Amino acid sequence: MTFEQVQGDLFAQRDVAAIGHGVNCRGVMGRGIAVEFRRRFSDMFDSYREECLAKRLRPGMLFPWPLPNGRWVYNLASQDEPGRNATDEALESALIAVLEHSRAHEVASVALPLIGAGIGGMTPRTTIATMERVAGPSPVLVRLVIQPRR
């Protein structure tokens, strides 16, 4: 199986080779799980912001960031601006880029949250369907990590 869904903490997924999240293309990580990515990976955030300000990151693209421990952080450009404007097309394209990068760099597994849902304006159902469809034929394990409600 190349797609699985679990409940838990994205950052506690120690058995995967990469973790990722959705980003906008304006260099802003100000809400949701992005704030935690910015806090944990400040060098990555600085480089991501630079890519955005130089207009090199566009919806549907991927900004991968290698960590010193050999893992990766994947920033999936699911929307142009912050807010409720994530699109299924951008998510699909960014997921394809994740899988291509993963295969090229021998990344066997990646954990992702409900990208584009909630703050991004997409529904969880749409996000899950897109992730299942794109991950289905891939040898890379895509794990959707849904944070339990508090």
Domain range for residue 32?
3-146
Total number of domains in the chain: 1
Q: In the predicted model, is pLDDT for residue 1 greater than 80? A: no
Q: In the predicted model, is pLDDT for residue 121 greater than 80? A: yes
Rounded to the nearest 10°, the torsion over CA 5, 69, 105, 24 is 60
Three-state SS string over 75-143 comes to: EEECCCCCCCCCCHHHHHHHHHHHHHHHHHCCCCEEEECCCCEHHHCECHHHHHHHHHHHHCCCCCEEE
Q: What pLDDT does 148 receive?
A: 82
| Mean pLDDT confidence for 28-53 | 97
Q: What pLDDT does 25 receive?
A: 98
Percent of the chain with pLDDT over 70: 99
What CATH number does residue 95 fall under?
Answer: 3.40.220.10
